[in-house]
Each structure stands twice: as C-alpha cells, then as structure tokens.
Amino acid sequence: MDFLNSLLVQPFADMFAAPDFLMQVLWEGLVSGILYALIALGFVLIFRSSRIFNFAQGIMVVFAALTLVGFHEMGVPAWISVILSLGVMFVLAVSIERVVLRPLVGQPDIILFMATIGITLFLIGFGELIFGGENKIMITEELGIPTGEFIFEPFGGFLLLEQKDVTAVVVAAVLVIALLAFLNKTRMGRAIRALGDDHQAALSVGISLQTIWVLVWFIAGIIALVTGIAWGARAGVSFALEVIAYKALPVLMLGGLESITGAIIGGLMIGLFEKLFEIYWGQPLLGGNTETWFAFVLALFVLLFRPQGLFGERIIERV
Amino acid sequence: MFYRTSGQFKTSYTADMALFPVRQDAILLAIILAFAWVILPLTASEFAFQTLLIPILIYSLAAMGLNILTGYAGQLSLGTAAFMGVGAYACYKLVTIMPWMNPVVAILLSGVFSAGVGVAFGIPSLRIKGFYLAIATLAAQFFLVWLFEKWAWLYNYNASGAIQVPTLQMFGVTVAGPTASSHVQYYVVLGIVSLMTILCINLTRGTLGRTWKATRDMDIAAELIGINLMKSKLTAFAISSYIVGVSGALFVFMWRGAAEPNLFDIPLSFRILFIAIIGGLGSILGNYLGAILIVGLPVILNTLPETFGIPISSATVEHLNIMIVGALIVFFLIIEPHGLARLWALIREKLVIWPFPH
C-alpha cells in the first residue's frame, strides 16, 4: 500500500503542492527537449534524403561547437568564427560525401550505418587531437547572447528562466520554420524531398544525388552548430556531450525516422517526460539518474503499439 | 599450387557437405590449432598474453555471439556490452554465493542468465524491425548498465560499487583472481572458446541456422514457408545472449580481474559490432579476423612511435588511435563491405588456380 501510494499518489500531490516548482521542471524539460529535437532533426534530414542512419550527428554537434570555440581562442572575433565554423562544416560535408558515401552508394543500410560510426570515431579522435580533451566554455557573451535571468512569481512561488535558454528556444523555433520553408518553397528543398520520396524517380528527372547529399549534410552541420552553441552555453563544450547524441535516438524512435514534425514533437515529449519522471518518480523511488534510460524505455513501449513511431511512414512490406 | 583441389573427388552427399570439403583447409586449421594450443603458450610473453592472446579470444567469442543474432538471424543489436555485463555479474554472484562451485561451470552457467535477459529484451523484435529494433536494444544497454550501478545486491554491497574477482581454484590450480597465471587463464579461455566455436559452426549449419538465415533474408517469405518467426527470433536472441554472456564472464574473470558498471558501456558494444562487421556478418571465421584487427591494431599503433623514436605524448597517441581506427573502419567497409572473411574467400579462390589462371 505504501509503495502504491508513493508510486501513484505522492508524486501528483507533490506537483500540486508546489506548482511553481512543477513549472520550473517543465521548463527545464522543454529546453532540453528542444535541443534533443534539433539533433533529431539533423538525423531526419539525412535519413529522408539518403536512407542513411547518421550516427555521427551527435558528434557533429560537439565538433561544430569545438571548432567555434577553437577559432575564437586563436583570436578570431566571435561572429567571424561562426562563419569560419560554417566553412569547416561545409568542408566536412563535402569530404564525407566524397570519401565515404560515394564509394558506398547502394550498399546495405547497416554498412552505411557502420560507416557513420567510423566517421564518429574519426571526428572524436581528430577533435581531441586538435582541440584537446578538456571541457571548454562556450563563447556565449561574445556572440551577444543575453546571460541574465527572467524571474516570475506564479502562484506566489518562484520561477527562474535563464535568458540564454529563452534565446535557445527562440532560435530553435526560427531554425525549424526556416528549414520547413526551405524544404517546401525552394527548388533545392523540393529536390531533397523528391529524393526522399523516391530515389530512382528523382534521379531520372535529373536531380543530382551528389549535390543533394552535400547540401543535406551541410544543413545538418548548420543545425549541429546551432545546437552546439545552445547546449554549450548550458553545459560547456567537451566530448562528454556525446551522451546527448544518444538521447536523439529515442526521439527518432518515438517520432518516426522520416518525420520532421515527429522529431520536434518527439523531442519535446521526451524532454518533458524524462524530467518529470526523474524528479517525481526516479529520485524518490529508484535512486535517481533514470534519465540515462527512461527515454529509451518510453520509446520502446510506444513502438510496441506503433512500430513506425508516432509520425513515421507506415511500413508496407511487399514480398 | 599449394591449394590445388583437383583430385579430391566427392562420391557421396555426406562427403560433399562435410566441414572440410577441401583437404588443405583441414591442414591449415590443424596448423592454426597447433599454434594456438602448443606453440604460442610456449613462446608468448606475459605482455602478449595479457594484451593480445586472451583479449582476442574473448572478443572473438563476444563477436560470435553478436554474429549469430545480427549476421545469421538479421536482428541488429547495439546492446551487446550490457549482455556481457549480465554474464559477468551473474558469474560473480554464482561464485560468491556458492564458492565451492567449479569456476568453469560457473562461467558456463552465467550465460544462462544472460540468455534469459536476452530473450526478455528480444520480445520487441517480434514487432519492431530494422533500425527501430537497433535503437530498442539500446534500451537494454542503458537500462542494464544503470541497474548494475544501482542494485547493490549485485556487487554484494561493497563500498566501491565494483566487482572484484575472488581467487578461484579448479582441481588445485588457481584459475581466476590476482594470483592466477596467464598460462592457465589462456588455456581456460581457449578451451571454452574452442568449444563454443564448434557449437556455433554446427548450429549455423543445421536446421536452426537455416531457419535464422531464412528469417534474415526475408521474414515474411520465411513465415510463408512455415517457419515460426517467434521461435526463430527468440532462439537467436537466447543463443546469442548465452554466448555473449559467457564471453562477458570470461572478460571479467579471466582478463580484467575487476569490473565497474561503466566498463559495459556503449563503446564496448560498438567495439564488438565493429569486430563482427569488419570480420564479416554471417561468418564464424570473420569474428577471429575482426578481433585480431581491432585488438591488435591499437597495440601496434602504441608501440610504433617508440620503435621509430618519434616523441609523441601518450594522450596524442590515444587520440590518433581513435582517429585511425575510425578511418580504417570506413576504409575496410569501402574495400570489402562483406568483411575480412569474404576477403579470405576471394584470396582462396585465387589461390586455387594460382599460378596458372587459365
């Protein structure tokens, strides 16, 4: 009885007893959810256009952030380092397409997946070799990101929103809208979607596979840089960040591998639920640190009922 | 010239389906076995035992377990390390609860627990496929490692949260623990690995193996010809996890001597997946070739700067190592996506007609 009480009654009682704390928890969940969604977005873009399950997306986030900080440490002004980092991400996209993907066109999915794990290892080694393994501080102020706090007092309580988190949410929203506009309104964007719908048909109307792949990896690189800045402002920049890359995987499972909407909604859901579970159930009942696996288990249960994720394309099997 | 198959006639189906249809294969294997059982133990140094021979055997075994699941039954798994952890922790509990138990029996039994956990996490595979399943197996990976850390009963409530291998004896010889000699440990590992290899070869050639392959190639078609998919997938999960669990027990008891939960973290899973894929999915030989490459390469890379007298700090060497391994994985995938085992098969075909190709 006691156990059931602490499982089913106490958490909700706690929530109502301190609504301001609940709002704080929800806000934290929302912010990390948005960052998960951004990483997942990079995955989805690449998966849609090439059926490559890009494991390296999480490392690209860290690599982009490290490059940015690295340029700034060499004395380059903040905004010019951003442009230089974008250049580096472009070079990365071109060389991945040229060196890794082009020779592997048409291979089974698992081989391409393994190749992206190879890229991941290469980037980890390369990044640590050049920038060192220690934790670095993101150049938040130099980029003009506000670092103050908004303080509200709902229900006579206390709610603290960091301005850099608010900025991250706004920038993420702008990025997603820009991306959707790009995919739906421009010629290149339509080509990407065509390639995602039907490879052969897209090739036959003259869409260049190589150009599109470079473009898609470059966009994924831009997303990675934005995510890297936002996450780096919260937690510093180091390869320990790669754990967040794994968080994007349950987001993909939950939302479906092909869906941009799925990535965003899945990210938000996972961010919110894992924070709630950790604070109200995980810490009192299970000894904490449940965030490492909760998202996966949640996604696993959803998949048992919808094997293609919430928004994924229906899996149609032909024999 | 050395690999001529002419003159070796098969007069019955049994002879044609035999393990070694070509005489030279049997001779080659005999030479390798003689090396493994007699010559290497006589000549190898302590360093070679600890950094090369024992880990290569253990990693091959783990990769063999994964290969049953991924290479033969077609179910991609990213949670191998966690199942190794289950084997290791089960073995630890067995020998601490029942200290009189023969350590080899304990190691072989610990795989049973891992098989049970494997089947439990394999159940979603009946509904989830492909990459979705691969991510689902990550649930096992993260959940089990978390459990190793939080469930204090598993490590007998000791303060460090790690498991320490006790000194274990078998027939009066110390086989595990800090005082065990490398020779004894090597023979125990070699014995178990040889046994498992024979088991795997025969399993994959038999009915069960063919059922797995049919499931891998197209599960709907397999179902139509009367294969019970549930049975096929779950036996693959069970047997694969059993072998992986045994390798996990060997990993801690015969090699590392102690283990913390984060030893079984995701990099180990990937390492084993690399071995299986670079070696060749759907091949038994490939696991050995892959393990030799993945275990041996860092050792060689570590000693290279010293031999050439290039002054590099050890941290730099480690970063270079990661980089080179990553690049090599891509390189091997590009030159031969089907792995080293396929490369060997090609070489063999060439050797049969060498030096007169026409």
Domain range list for chain A: 18-305
Is A125 in Cβ contact with B323 (below 8 Å)?
yes
The whole-angstrom separation of Cα A122 and Cα A249 is 20
Q: A234-264 pLDDT, tens per residue? A: 777 777 667 777 778 888 888 877 778 888 8
The whole-angstrom separation of Cα B320 and Cα B325 is 8
| B284, B201 contact by CB (below 8 A) | yes
Search chain B and give the residue with CA nearest A312: B132
And the tokens for A224? Answer: 């990675």
Q: B11-42 pLDDT, tens per residue? A: 888 888 777 777 888 888 888 888 888 888 88
User: pLDDT at position B321, please?
Assistant: 81
CA nearest neighbour of A215 among A35, A45, A39? A45
CATH number of A18-305: 1.10.3470
User: pLDDT at position A144, please?
Assistant: 67
R_g of chain A computed on alpha carbons: 21
Residues 6+ away with beta carbon under 8 Å from B129 = A307, A315, B219
| A109: contact with B, CB 8 A cutoff | yes
Q: What is the ipTM of this complex?
A: 0.82
Contact list, A304 vs chain B (CB under 8 Å): 124, 127-128
The whole-angstrom separation of Cα B164 and Cα B169 is 16
**Best mutation site among B216, B227, B322 for testing chain A: the one with the most A CBs within 10 Å?**
B322
Q: Which residues of A111-142 are buried (b: 16+ CB within 10 A; e: fewer)?
A: bbbbbbbbbbbbbbbbbbbebeeeebebbbee
Q: Domain extents for chain B?
A: 47-353
Which residue numbers in chain B have pLDDT < 50? none
| B284, B197 contact by CB (below 8 A) | yes
CATH class label, B47-353: mainly alpha
**Best mutation site among B125, B133, B319 for testing chain A: the one with the most A CBs within 10 Å?**
B319
Is B128 in Cβ contact with A99 (below 8 Å)?
no
Nearest Cβ partner for B322 among A103, A125, A257: A125
User: pLDDT at position B56, please?
Assistant: 92
Search chain A and give the residue with CA nearest B328: A118
User: Chain A: nearest CA to B5, how far in angstroms?
Assistant: 33
User: Chain A: nearest CA to B59, how far in angstroms?
Assistant: 18
| B224: contact with A, CB 8 A cutoff | yes
Is A99 in Cβ contact with B330 (below 8 Å)?
yes
| B333: contact with A, CB 8 A cutoff | yes
Contact list, B276 vs chain A (CB under 8 Å): none
The whole-angstrom separation of Cα B132 and Cα A13 is 36
- Going residue by residue through chain A (319 aa), what tens digit of pLDDT does each one get? 677 777 777 777 777 777 777 888 888 888 888 888 888 888 888 888 877 888 888 888 888 888 888 888 887 787 888 888 899 999 999 998 888 888 888 788 778 888 888 898 888 888 888 877 677 777 766 676 777 677 776 666 677 777 777 888 888 888 888 888 888 888 888 888 888 777 788 888 888 888 888 888 999 999 888 888 888 877 777 776 677 777 788 888 888 777 788 888 888 888 888 888 888 887 777 777 777 788 888 888 888 888 777 777 776 766 6
Is A289 in Cβ contact with B146 (below 8 Å)?
yes
User: pLDDT at position B338, please?
Assistant: 83
